[in-house]
Amino acid sequence: MSFDVFTPAHRIATEIREGGLSAETVTGAFLARIDKVNPVVNAFTDVTAQRALEQARGIDLARAAGKALGPLAGVPFAAKNLFDIRGLPTKAGSKINRDRAVATRDAALVERLTAAGAVLLGGLNMGEYAYDFTGENAHDGPGRNPHDPARMAGGSSSGSGAATAAGLAPLSLGSDTNGSIRVPASLCGVFGLKPTYGRLPRTRSFPFCDSLDHLGPFARDVTDLAMAYDLLQGADPEDPHCAQLPVEPTLTSLQRGVGDLRIAIAGGHFSTEGMPEAEAAVAAVARGLGTTRTFELAGAGIARAAAFLITNAESSTFHLDRLRQRADDFDPETRDRFLAGAMLPAAWYVQAQRARHWFHDEMLKVFADVDLIIAPATPCPAPRIGQKVLELRGETVPLRPNLGLFTQPVSAIGLPVAAVPVFGMGLPIGVQIIAAPWREDLCLRAAFALQKAGVCEARAPGL
């Protein structure tokens, strides 16, 4: 039976539920696709084929027995390898973590998708310990962009962006501390959702920076993204960071449109002057959402600097023993930043936390007058693998930190963001749709409207 691996997840689930497809056929098709395409894009580091096939056969048996199926029954997904996957050591992109005992239980979010019937295909490549925007990894090799394998997938959730874009998994899970969902979503041309800080539980995922770590889904279709997000929601007693909020479904309001929303384009720090692809993408999204209003978003540079310091200090302290004992086993591209971060004066860190709080309060004033903010996701489409510098507003700057120029101030204060893909003349580039805390529903409504209007889409690569 032929099966198109680019079929949206919600349609796969419907076909399986109605008997048009078996879950085993779908899982087999994705495993075959991984065999063929993963050597090109290097998205998967671990394929859990046996587990996937066993679960798929169980779904088919359940259906044959007339049992109710979960909303994502038979839909394959994959998770960045910082999520615990039962039976595997949680690598978090590192060499050092391969010595850890295997996980005895899946991460909470993997469990939630599995409980909804989704079928885990494996663990995905990522930048070491998530300290990365490029997707390059000295241990597992670089994540490669499905639209041009000589280019970066973006990081640190490189495998999540690449696997979803390349039709290796219609849904994937990633993490975002400073942009690690939004950067690979932008470079790979897929949709990504970074929910509000504290919305989704991080239970049994390997940490990077406690103050800023978020988890969230990737998809090629906005309905799929909303479905997955709704199923991922809910407090977890094992995660004190997770807000004690009930599930707030977004799928039901997805098609409501944006006619009643006040939408503005962020200027100042988010100016795209001298960045033609980002400028064109922001303009296309603004047109699609019917706005020409631009406003100066003051303080974003301070928020970015605060996020830099908070990340550097917390993550480096977390890894201090590993830096003392096994510095040579780190990826050199992350090790030297961790070594520097371990030595930061406490005053810089505390001041950064205070500044973060200040910017949060300033942004709440902005949201009194605006429902959604449009901002670029990255300054450019996917750079070439190995590229070290970037031309930015007429200056040559280091590439690694500057890929997160536009994402970092937003996650610094935990705002929800949908990254939406725009395909111009060549490579895709993403745009951020940002809302006030806890208003993921508005981000997803706008993303759906843009998809419906044909402004944003996740095009299949020629692989």
Partner 1 sequence: MSKSDAGGGFDAARHLDAMAPALGLTITAEQRPVVLQFIAIAQAMSEIVRTAPLDSASLELAPVFRPGAPRGDAS
Instruction: Mark residues 323-352: x for contact with partner 1 by CB under 8 A, - for none.
Output: xx--x-------xxx-xxxxxxx-xx-xxx
Catalytic one among 80, 94, 194, 271? 80
* 3-state class (DSSP) for residue 305: helix
245 binds partner 1 (CB under 8 A): no
CA distance 8 to 462: 18
For residue 421, the SS3 value is strand
Strand partners, 47: 122
Taking the complex as a whole, how short is the minimal distance between the CB of residue 442 and partner 1, in angstroms?
A: 23
Residues with Cβ within 8 Å of 391's Cβ and at least 6 positions away in sequence, in order, are 397
Q: What angle do CA 386, 133, 276 make, to 5 degrees?
A: 80
In the list 66, 237, 246, 259, the residue contacting partner 1 (rule: CB under 8 A) is 237
| Burial (0-12, 13-18, 19+ Cβ within 10 Å), 252 | exposed
| Residue of 94, 156, 211, 271 marked catalytic | 156
Among positions 11-40, residues that touch partner 1 (CB under 8 A) are none
Report the residue from 1, 65, 68, 101 that binds partner 1 according to the rule CB under 8 A.
Answer: 101
Q: How far is the CB of 92 from partner 1 (least distance, A)?
A: 14
Q: Which of 146, 216, 299, 437 binds partner 1 (CB under 8 A)?
A: 299
The token pair at 283 is 């303009």
The one catalytic residue among 175, 180, 205, 315: 180
User: Which amino acid would we find at residue 425?
Assistant: M
Binding window for partner 1 (CB under 8 A); candidates: 42-50, 56-64, 197-205, 246-254: 197-205
Q: Does 166 bind partner 1 (CB under 8 A)?
A: no
Where does 71-157 have alpha helices with state H?
A: 108-115
CA distance 244 to 83: 22
Work out which of 301, 322, 387, 397 binds partner 1, going by CB under 8 A.
Answer: 301
Q: Does 388 bind partner 1 (CB under 8 A)?
A: no
Candidates 59, 103, 232, 265; binder of partner 1 (CB under 8 A) is: 103
Distance CA 212, CA 204 (A): 16
**What's the token pair of residue 20?**
């048009």
| CA angle at 8 for the pair 18 and 439, rounded to the nearest 5° | 110
The two three-digit tokens of residue 231, written as one number: 């199923």
d(CA 26, CA 24): 5
Nearest approach in angstroms of CB 110 to partner 1 is: 14
Among 54, 99, 210, 391, binds partner 1 (CB under 8 A): 210
If the CB atoms of residues 5 and 403 are measured against partner 1, the closer one turns out to be 403
Q: How far apart are CA 212 and CA 20, in angstroms?
A: 43
> Is 22 an annotated catalytic residue?
no
Indicate if 180 belongs to the active site: yes
Catalytic residue check, 95 = no
In the complex, least distance from residue 171 CB atom to partner 1, rounded to whole angstroms: 24
Which residues does the annotation mark as catalytic? 80, 156, 180
Q: Which residues bind partner 1 (CB under 8 A)?
A: 101, 103-104, 198, 203-204, 210-211, 237-241, 299, 301-302, 304-306, 308-309, 312, 320, 323-324, 327, 335-337, 339-345, 347-348, 350-360, 401
